[in-house]
Amino acid sequence: MSEVADGVLDWLARLDVRLAEAVAAAGAAYGPEAGRDSFRGLHIGPDEVTRVLRRAPAVSPIGPGSAADAAGPAWLAERYDLSAFELNVLLVAVAPEVDLRYERLYGYLQDDVTRRRPTVELTLNLLCDGVAEKLRRRCDFAADAPLLRHRLVRLVADPHHVEPPLLARYVVPDEQIVDVLLGVGGLDRRLASWCRLVSGPGPGSGRAHELRDLLDAGQRLYLRGQPGSGRAEAARTAAAGLGRPVLHVDLALAPSGPATFEDAVRCALREAELHGALPYLDRADSLDDHRRDLAVMALAHTPGPVVLAGTAPWPSTVLPLFLRTVEFTTPEAGERRVRWVSALAGRPVPPGDLDVLAERFPLTPRAIDEAAGTAGGHTLAELSAAARRAAGHELAGLADRIEPRAGWADLVLPDDELAALHEICARVAGQGRVLRDWGFGGKLARGTGVAVLLAGPPGTGKTMAAEVLAAELHLDLYRISLAGVVSKYIGETEKNLDRVFAAAERTAAILLFDEADAMLGKRGEVRDAHDRYANLEVAHLLQRMEAHPGVTLLATNMRHNLDEAFTRRLAFTVRFPFPDQNSRARIWRSVWPAGTPLAADVDPEALAARFTLSGGHIKNVALASAFLAGPGPVTAAHVRHAVRREFQKLGKALTDDDLLGVGDG
């Protein structure tokens, strides 16, 4: 049996002495039938009425008691500022939790077999030495007295007794206090679904020493950062350095009703105190204003350091708590590389691949651990795919994800434009060296990302080039339609853009703004409020692009329609010219998958010479002719029919003469 439980038993042994005296006195006060009548307390006869009237008001029927002869746990008295009397009140209430025989004794002493828990009156009769003390001690059951203020006991009314007086209320101990007094291990049962006790240092954190010093000085901290940014493990390591475990409290899962929420938070904070643990209140920014105020009031009465955590700034309107905010930003590339090495646990990953993973993916420590644990292998492609999954899919609700399927061989562009695309990849790969190692990042306030304009007619390969870049860089590609971002409501466009860029920064995705000229046309003279706000929207996009550290691609069909103030902020402009005959022939040759049964009369050179189509239209023709071919093969006749349909879509009708000479002879 635990030392704590042994102490309680010694405590109860002294209570038994007082109860024996009380039982002897009760026999004389209640008469010889007391304890024998099973309906005692449910009815009252004339003889009993006479005995009751014979007793003076407030005089105890069970003799005088004393609160000084049963000293309780010293730590309990010191922490909650309890007097000897209040400790003994707690003892009387806890006794039935140890042995049910106390229920029978209490029923007898209260002359009512239905009252098996101590009432305020019985407690006063057991512990007070006279009427004067009984009247004076009523204040110890007030709402602001230590026992009730600290929720060590509750005063519970009998459900069959409407608006009972104070003396008739039962004194019920809090189950958390009962468990502690009896040496029961584990968390309070009410906390099991939203709290957990953890001990020992976390899996490494560079901020732990800083937090330990602040906590050792008694600071109350608000750790602000994205989930997985290392806040919890830093607090855990800091607490371990102080010889304390951590009680991790998820406030978002706490009981939601205002009254139950306040009780729950107080219960959690007391649990932390009873275990000597550091309270770590996670998702504190998820609370509404009222529940946040309740939590703050509970914290105000909690001694010692406390840690809160969230992603949003702590509101300045909250009741004062003297919180010190500690920002947890995404680790720098060097820290991320160290974490990758640790998470991969000796797997044979080339140092260059580790550099790419650390530089390219701004992952939190937890996300790196998840990526390393879920990667299907140890190649750069497999690790990059796992890193993209771990980065999350915040952009999924804001943009359309494009699965890269094209490769460099699929691009038909002039040599200089292909070289520019390779330079874009090289620039992304060299960002760490140039911006950090060589110091350019310290000299440039903005413009450290890679903003690229892809300009050319429809179907010339702009989206395909975006796919090639994403595949080469092992990054996700998301297409954003500016028509869906721009809002007629003032300020909404800026908010939409902020959400898109913030999500892209956290997920390391490439942004492809399609039809960019829909918003980015030349800014004209301001004639009304609409013009002024349109210009503000463009300016906001420019600012976000310059501040964005990742890759932003803007596709436009009308290069000449873009504002010069915009284009001079771009890192690259890549032209996508309408393909000439030689380029069209290359596209016709490469557009057919290897498994396509192609008839000998399909002549790529003849098709390129006869039909002036862009690469996108050629792809449409190839697909349509494949469906026309049925089981195959694809013949020139199928291609001619598909070409006719494609020109119809373009508003141009082809005659049979226009199609002569293409695979007909």
CA–CA distance, 282 with 310 (Å, rounded to integer): 6
Domains of the chain, residue spans: 3-181, 189-328, 333-387, 408-575, 581-659
Residue 297: per-residue pLDDT = 87
Give 605-650 pLDDT, tens digit per residue.
999 999 999 999 999 999 999 999 988 799 999 999 999 999 998 8
Residue 154: per-residue pLDDT = 94
User: Which pTM value belongs to this model?
Assistant: 0.70
Q: Which of 4-8, 61-65, 202-206, 210-214 holds the top average pLDDT?
A: 210-214
Mean pLDDT lowest among 13-17, 52-56, 210-214: 52-56
Residue 582: per-residue pLDDT = 94
- Residue 183's pLDDT band, with cuts at 50, 70 and 90, is confident
Q: So what's the architecture of 408-575 in CATH?
A: 3-Layer(aba) Sandwich (3.40)
> Is the pLDDT reported for residue 47 higher than 90?
no
> Is the pLDDT reported for residue 444 higher than 90?
no
- CB-count exposure of residue 122 (10 Å: 0-12, 13-18, 19+): buried
Residue 237: per-residue pLDDT = 94
> Is the pLDDT reported for residue 181 higher than 70?
yes
Instruction: Give, in words, the CATH class of 189-328.
Output: alpha beta
Give 103's contacts (C-beta < 8 A, 6+ positions apart).
96, 116, 117
Give 482-498 pLDDT, tens digit per residue.
666 766 566 677 888 88
More reliable by pLDDT, 147 or 662? 147
Tell me the CA distances in angstroms from 117 to 90, 105, 113, 143, 145, one per residue in order.
Answer: 12, 9, 10, 20, 21
Give 188-201 pLDDT, tens digit per residue.
888 999 999 998 88
Question: To 5 degrees, how large is the angle CA 131–CA 135–CA 140?
Answer: 130
What percent of the chain stands above pLDDT 70? 85
Residue 546: per-residue pLDDT = 79
Supply the mean pLDDT for the chain.
Answer: 84
- The stretches of 375-473 forming alpha helices (DSSP H) are 380-391, 415-429, 431, 440-443, 462-473
- Residue 51's pLDDT band, with cuts at 50, 70 and 90, is low
> Is the pLDDT reported for residue 7 higher than 60?
yes
Tell me the CA distances in angstroms from 145 to 82, 152, 173, 427, 567, one per residue in order.
Answer: 9, 11, 15, 69, 71
CA–CA distance, 139 with 452 (Å, rounded to integer): 76
Beta-carbon neighbour count of residue 570 at 10 Å?
A: 17
Q: Do domains 189-328 and 408-575 have the same CATH topology?
A: yes
> Is the pLDDT reported for residue 523 higher than 70?
no
Buried b / exposed e along 224-234 (16+ C-beta atoms within 10 A): bbbebbbbbbb
Is CATH 1.10.8.60 correct for 581-659?
yes
Give 246-282 pLDDT, tens digit per residue.
999 999 999 987 678 988 999 999 999 888 999 999 9
> Is the pLDDT reported for residue 585 higher than 90?
yes
